[in-house]
Structure 1
Amino acid sequence: MNYKVLALLFFFFSLNLISQEKVTLEYSNVSLSEVFKDLEEKFKIKFSYNSELVNNRIINLKRQDYLLEDILLTLEEKVAISFKKVSKRYYTAKSKVLRITDTQQLQEILIKEYLTTGISKKNEDASISLMPKKLGILPGLTEPDVLQSIQLLPGVQSPTETASGLFIRGGTPDQNLILWDGIKMYHSGHFFGTISAFNPYITDEIKLYKSGTKAKYGNRISGVIDITSDNYIPQKIEGGAGINMTHADVFLKAPLNDKVAFILSGRRSITDMFNTETFKNLSQRVFQETKISDGNKVFEDDEVLTTNDLFNFKDFTFKAVVKPNENNEISISNLFTNNKLDYGFLIEEFDEASSDKLEITNQGSSFNWNHKYNNALSHDFNAYYSKFDLEYVGSNNITNEFSDELKKQNTIDDFGLSFDTNLVLRESASIGLGYQFSSNKVNYGLSFMDSESPEENFDESNESTNNAHAVYFDYKYNKSNKWLINAGLRANYFSVIDRIYVEPRVQVETRLSSSLKYRVSVENLHQAVSQVVEFNTQEFGLEDQIWVLSDDEEIPVLSSTQFTSGFLFNKKGWNIDLEAYYKKVRGLTSFTLGFEVANDFFSKGESDVFGLDLLVKKKIQNYRTWLSYSFINNDFTFDNINSGNEFSGNSDITHHFTWSHTYEWNQFNISLGWNIRTGIPYTKGVGIIDTPEGSVIEYDVINDSRLPDYHRLDVSTTYEFNVSKNENWKGKIGFSLLNIYNKNNLLSRTYESRQDSNGDIVLREINKSSIGLTPNLIFRIEF
């Protein structure tokens, strides 16, 4: 395999590459309009802008070997102009409006390449911005996967090797607020989380908050991932299509006129038509040690016939963008994601048939209206509807002997609206005031029917609704580019427990020198909807978590208090970002964490998280390298577990280190990344003991053992080319390898009691491993 990789890399290097054009610029007191004309001539492009934009704006700039992208970023920094690439040749330029809830450009330290192109550190808040269309190549990725890209940032971990299983600074995935055009998402992955459910080719920007969260974000206690899709009106029809070894996609952006446009996209798995090597490896990782992987065998030598083998996923989006004038922007967005699984097995010797059917859907719609009254006052109005639906049916039967059936359903109907006003008081100060309403109806049902043991049958269901009202206030103060203060206050009312929660949030930054600044933030957050683990479907082995609303008893409201402090340095191609944090989380339960070893199954607890995130990056022309390191100490304390003493959290990854490299050579890109981390804790099973209720597993001290250290090396490479002579049609081919040296990393270790061939009850260790050596190929065409 190594020779094949080298041969493929040599092939890419041997292609006839077309170099990116670089120019030398020298502007001394030149008007912005003249700068635009000069750039149009040098790069064969065209700017579209209002003539008032360039009035009385003078540019002083001297640079050598400058790419167009670098020039535009510099102009954005100098004159507060926002550029949007509409097509290969056309760009729009607009003046940035200072709004408290939007991006504001500050003339201070600007990290416009936090890791690589398309990833930037925002000046006006604590967010990190990812723009998929500008995103440089990343290790192991041939496409800019929306959620997998985030995992290269310090403080963001995925112990399960999935795109959607994001643990941000000790928080669990259900504690993250994920928005797509204002729609709350309750299921963000395809194929059990291995691929994100968001199409990157119609995604404009992803904002990630690990701390310093703005007051407009609520009802989650960990990270915020705010995704916005394309919101511009192209001058002509644009589109593209691509295929890789798991799925195919297509998108289209079509203007009706200069004020209205439609954007459509669709993706679908190809795995039910082509059994690719990539899908085989992903399936092996996802289905290992589940009912599907062993075909519902009772004994190892059972011969199993597969009677049903169906799995597919798909997602569709539709968006209408209306811009009747300079002061109004209206958009209507729609999203549909679906995962469907249907497996059946037959053990012919016993005529025993089993079936597992699972379908997960998350769909939603939103309406957004932004109105600008003048340069100082504007408002945003958003209304959304989100629906999550999970249905599972599992059955077993032997003809004329017995039959059983287990059903699970979990649905969420979420409707909400918000109204934000933004007012610039003066050049150094602005305020924002907003109101939000949301109504969550959460339904859970579980039933079991057994023809042989009807006394074990049950049918349980629960439905509850939480109407939440929130008012919030933001104040921003920026004094002479020396001090930046963001202060916010949010008040939440949750009807499900009839209580008000107040959330103060403060962020302070000061510039210590031209290349160094210091940041500190404090915030308090609450969450009324979360996921719990249920063990009735553990034999199926997949999707064992369900969404529930807090009842202030068995499921309390989650609360988090986080303090963050750090430094940011940027000079001569060096970026260093160091941040320490402490987080206290209350309201955890043994239901939400799924402890199998607790003596008293229901127990309340809390966690104390102390962490340190470090990023060191160096850019040398077209070569970039960065080291990312995260230290985390996440301790749990529960009343009735481990005698009330502290123990390591379930996903406590003490040390996490990545070292990545990217190199751009003309139209060829290559990236190599090494990932190493501490193994997660687990509770060791020591034997089987007999009790009046039957045989049970005896465990050692909870989470007192750790899995072996995890390490993996990934590589990816892409090549872009022109399909047509006029460069209107572009092509892209790419290749990636995950886990190059095929390391068998353990992701989890659990135990079960099982009857052996002699009829004795024995302890069985269940290990789940990471993905092995996995190739992927991509081919794309865009116009």
Structure 2
Amino acid sequence: MIRILVVFLVFTVHAEAATIAGYVRSAIDGEQVGLSVVALPDLQLGGLANERGYFAVRKVPDGRHLIVVSHIGYQSYRDTIDVAGEDVRLDIRLRSEAIDVGLETVITADRDTEVEQERTIQTSFLTIEPQLLQQLPATGEADLLRSLQLLPGIQSASDISSGLYVRGGGPDQTLILLDDIPLYNPSHAFGFFSTFNPEAVRDIQLYKGAYPANYGGNLGAVLDVSNRDGNREQFAVSGGVSLVSTRLLAEGPAGDGSWMVSGRRTYLDPVLAAIRSGGTDVPDYFFYDLNTKITQPIGEGGDHLLLSAYFGRDDLDFDLGEAESFFNIRWGNRAAMARWTHLFDPALFGELTISSSEYESTTDLSFFDTPILFQNQIEDLTLNADLEYFRGSQNTITTGLRATKYNFEFVSSFNQKPGVDLHESPTLLELYLQDDVQLSTGTHLRLGVRASRFSEADDVAVMPRFSLSQPVADGWRVKLGGGLYRQQLQLVTTEGFSGGDFWVPLDETVGPASSRQIVAGLEWEPTRNYKVTMEAYYTDLDGLVIIDNNSTVDNNSTRSEDVFKSDGRGHATGIEWFAEKRTGRLRGWVGYTLGSTRRTFDEVDGGRSFAPKYDRRHDVSVVSSYRLGSKWRLGGSFVYATGQAFTPAAARYTLTNPATQVREDLVLAARRNSARLLPYHRLDLSARRQIGFFDGDAEVYLQIFNVYSRRNEWFVQYDADSPDTEPEVVKQLPVVPTFGLEFAF
């Protein structure tokens, strides 16, 4: 089918007038500048470069024409070009603007300017410049996922969790991609840090809901992260040193292409070893990650080959001090990708991608010579074929095919006796078609459909998607978006931290989960300096599952129905406000979310609905950055949120164990998540100063997490053996000051 479509599109393209096409790149390092706007203003023709920086403007008549290329943070490119009946190849280099970039280019949510056309088309979409990672206060060092938690509609589970809870969905409902490769547990240090090395990241795109048809496989949101391709112009080195880790990036030209290698590793293990030598029981722990990338043009026709890889691992060993008592946990991701980009015609852009992603975790513990083991592994091998047809300045058609082969393994044992033994190797086939069209001046419509066939299901899911954007007055715009979504994989998590999380597929005994989303938005942009956005969303969920803690399984025939309680239902609804100031010495934003999410399972709490742990009615965030002179930058953030839900104890009671005749004290749980912890609030501050560093540039920084040391509540635990003991409320992090150095040559 794809081959027939290619032949048809190529024939159609050759029947048209001349096409101007090429790549937009940075003049400094040759990095692609995606989503740039290319315009021929005299002809009222133009278009938007795709995410790879490729553009094509069709139906250009003969003559000399002015061409203008623009992108936020770069000087506009202006030149004249002669067209004489033949297609023209034009590769463009944009120079950075000589301005203080700051927060005005950090969060750019749906801005109605030509350089934000993609944001104009798509609802619930925003991009984040990597500079944000250095602007915001953090614990230890800058972190992508923890920075995203400061945006409206996105919550965290705890101070040590980098998991994303987007609009009432769990972390497994957000698809996380690194260079188009899915990552199944993108965290280090039990979620304290994400796997994304800020030195290596080039751009970040986030769809909080109603995401388009070219993505699939998850119920809620999409986080699409791309690493740097490497510097095509010169060899360069950058890095940073914090109290937690050291990171380093090296990049440079390779022939007509480029290469990039970045790494990060903790140096806590020698410190912890020194503490243990003094007689203090502390665990042995380290993590590392490595990113590599090579890009190379092929021939003169615009083809490119890209190779990308990621490796990351965490390792924790803890001797509990008792006889044969220890706790060991290891987890990590390995991912690799090869992508061939081919131009069938100047207006027909194609990509063929093969990728592999693997996540594994092993939890090995023993208490008084009683070993317990949990092992989980997920592997996927994916083939993607995508086409993008620049039909005209007001119409772009994309289509693609995706085939994925999974291999899942989850085994457990207690005292060397086998427990769960789950092995599955399902396949997933997906096909999508999407059309972006400008109906009139300023009115954009995106229509798409995605079809999927999971080998463990008995049907083909057809999922339509749409997004409509319409200006209603000067500076005002309304948006509407929605779609159907399906998810076949399930994450079992503690919610408070990650590391021992594990993934399993849903087989024929439990149907896949599905969601229906609708989003409506209103935007007001009185000037380029200010922007106010309001979005209301509603998500309806079916086919949800939760782990069945009381299940007894036969290790010879473990199925999904043995592990999960299924057929759950739910919904999430809310309103988000987002106001931002983009320029001036003082910059930042204020976000507020009024939301609610509920879940219902016939086998849980008598079929009564309950709030998930991460449900929060109110969530406020205030973020600011102030430029003090030419060398200092001060930053701060404040968050306030409704306390998380938890299940309180209704009573204590005593039973006699019929097997041992021993009386046991037990706790009778009340309704699930029927109580709330105290409200969460926290203030973080930072100060950064530019300094000279040998022949390069550097910044030193001081960051203070939780300035007034608010001991926010994490969870409640009960001691059934001591009836007179009050429930213990486990607290989160106190004040945590950190400092570090960042440099570039």
TM-score norm. by structure 1 comes to 0.76
CA deviation digits over 1:638-688, x for unaligned, max 9? 213333222222211110011222112323211111111100111111332
- The one-character-per-residue Cα deviations of 1:110-152 (angstroms, maximum 9, x if unpaired) are xx99964322222332321112147661244785422122112
Letter in 1 for 2:482: V
Alpha-carbon distance in 2 for matches of 1:226, 1:54? 24
Deviation at 1:222, TM superposition (A): 1.5
* Residue of structure 2 equivalent to 1:634: 597
| Equivalent position SS for 1:647 | coil
1:340 aligns with 2:328: no
Q: Distance in 2 between matches of 1:630 and 1:54?
A: 36
Letter of the structure 1 residue corresponding to residue 631 of structure 2? Q
Any conservation in 2 of the 1:175–1:223 contact (CA below 8 Å)? yes
Post-superposition offset of 1:274: 3.5
Letter in 2 for 1:228: S
Aligned residues of 1:419 and 1:435 also touching (Cα < 8 A): yes
Matches of 1:635 and 1:211, distance apart in 2 = 17
Relative to structure 2, which stretch is displaced further, 643-652 or 514-523? Answer: 643-652
2: distance between equivalents of 1:55 and 1:607? Answer: 46
Point out the more displaced range, 262-271 or 690-699.
690-699
For 2:135 and 2:588, the matched residues in 1 are separated by 12
Distance apart, 1:625 and its partner CA: 3.6
The one-letter code sitting in structure 2 at the alignment partner of 1:774 is V
More deviation, 695-704/705-714: 695-704
SS of residue matched to 1:207: strand
Aligned to 2:89: none
Q: Which residue is equivalent to 1:34?
A: none
| Structure 2 unaligned blocks of 5 or more | 1-26, 44-66, 81-99, 110-118, 552-562, 658-663
Any idea what SS the aligned residue of 1:220 has? Answer: coil
Deviation digits for residues 29-76 of structure 1 (CA, Å, limit 9, x no counterpart): xxxxxxxxxxx9xxxx89999xxx9998799xxxxxxxxxxxxxxxxx
The aligned residue for residue 773 of structure 1 is 735
5 Å matches for 1:200-599? 200-257=198-255, 259-274=256-271, 309-324=283-298, 325=300, 327-347=302-322, 352-397=323-368, 403-449=369-415, 457-532=417-492, 543-553=499-509, 555-572=510-527, 573-591=529-547
The C-alpha deviation readout for 1:410-466, integer Å capped at 9, x for no partner, is: 00111101111111222211211110011111100001117xxxxxx4433110012
Instruction: Confirm whether residue 710 of structure 1 aligns to residue 646 of structure 2.
Output: no
CA distance in 2, matches of 1:718, 1:249: 18
Q: Which residue of 2 aligns with 1:79?
A: 68
In 2, the alpha carbon distance for the partners of 1:476 and 1:331 equals 27
Query: Does the residue aligned with 2:199 lie in a helix, a strand or coil?
Result: helix
Correspondence for 1:731 among 685, 692, 698: 698
2:623 is equivalent to residue 667 of structure 1: no
In 1, Cα distance between equivalents of 2:207 and 2:101: 17
Deviation of the 1:704 alpha carbon: 1.5
Displacement of 1:82 in angstroms is 5.1
CA distance, structure 1, for counterparts of residue 242 and residue 340 of structure 2: 36
SS at match of 1:781: strand
The answer (yes or no) to whether the contact 2:181–2:357 under 8 Å persists in 1 is yes
Looking at structure 2, the residues matched to 779 and 501 of structure 1 have their Cα atoms a distance apart, in angstroms, of 50
Give the one of 118, 131, 135 matched to 2:106: 118
**Secondary structure at 1:559's aligned position in 2?**
strand
Instruction: Tell whether the 8 Å contact from 1:648 to 1:703 is kept in structure 2 after alignment.
Output: yes
Task: Work out which of the residue numbers 688, 693, 718 in structure 2 matches 1:751.
Answer: 718
Question: Any idea what SS the aligned residue of 2:547 has?
Answer: helix
Counterparts of residues 185-204 of structure 1 (less than 5 Å): 185-204=183-202
Counterpart for residue 681 of structure 1:
645
Partners in 2 of 1:601 and 1:381 — Cα distance? 37
> For 1:360 and 1:563, how far apart are their aligned partners in 2?
36
Give the share of equivalent positions with the same residue, in percent: 23
Shift of 1:733: 0.7
Q: Secondary structure at the match of 2:135?
A: coil
Instruction: Give the residue type in structure 1 aligned to 2:358.
Output: K
Residues 675 and 94 from structure 1, CA distance in 2 versus in 1: closer, same or farther, beyond 3 angstroms? farther
Query: Quick one: which amino acid aligns to residue 428 of structure 1?
Result: Q
Contact 2:340/2:351 (<8 A) preserved: yes
Q: Secondary structure at the match of 1:79?
A: strand
Corresponding residue for 1:292?
Answer: none
Count of residue correspondences: 642
Q: Would you say the 8 A contact 1:311–1:342 is kept in 2?
A: yes
* 1:281-305 CA distance string (max 9 Å, x none): xxxxxxxxxxxxxx9xxxxxxxx97
Give the Cα–Cα distance (whole angstroms) in 2 for the partners of residues 275 and 309 of structure 1. Answer: 7
Residues in 2 aligned to 1:746 and 1:256: alpha-carbon distance in whole angstroms: 52
Q: SS of the counterpart of 2:148?
A: helix
Matches of 1:520 and 1:263, distance apart in 2: 40
- SS of 2:270's equivalent in the other structure is coil
Query: What's the CA shift string for 1:388-418, capped at 9, x where partnerless?
Result: 1111111133xxxxx2101110001111011
* Deviations 1:577-599, CA, capped at 9 Å, x for gaps: 1000000111222318999xxxx
SS in 2 for 1:273: helix
Letter in 1 for 2:270: M
Is residue 84–residue 91 contact of structure 1 (8 Å, CA) maintained in 2?
no
What is the CA–CA distance in structure 2 between the aligned matches of 1:138 and 1:360, rounded to whole Å? 28
Distance 2:194 2:439 in 1: 41
Partner residue, 1:36? none
SS at the partner of 1:743? Answer: coil
CA distance in 2 between partners of 1:55 and 1:688 (Å)? 72
- Given residue 334 of structure 1, which amino acid in structure 2 is its aligned partner? A
| Letter of the 1:673 counterpart | S
Matched, 1:181 2:137: no
Q: Please give the TM-score of this superposition, normalised by the length of structure 2.
A: 0.80
Residues 229 and 258 of structure 2 are in contact (CA less than 8 Å); yes or no, is this contact kept in structure 1? no
Query: Matched residues in 2 for 1:262 and 1:145: separation?
Result: 24
Q: Deviations over 1:727-780 (max 9, x none)?
A: x61111111000000011002224353x45xxxx77773433221100111112
Change (3 A) 1:173 1:632: same
Deviation per CA, 1:586-638: give whole Å up to 9, x if none.
Answer: 1222318999xxxx994542111111111112346221142110111111222
- Residues 481 and 594 (structure 1 numbering): CA distance in 2 closer, same or farther, change over 3 Å? farther
Q: 1:592 to 1:429 in 2, by over 3 A?
A: farther
How big is the shift at 1:241? Answer: 2.5
Q: Is the 2:141–2:242 Cα contact (8 Å) retained in structure 1?
A: no
Name the CA distance, whole Å, in 1 between partners of 2:29 and 2:432: 42
Separation in 2, partners of 1:134, 1:616: 17
Instruction: Please state if 1:722 is matched with 2:705.
Output: no
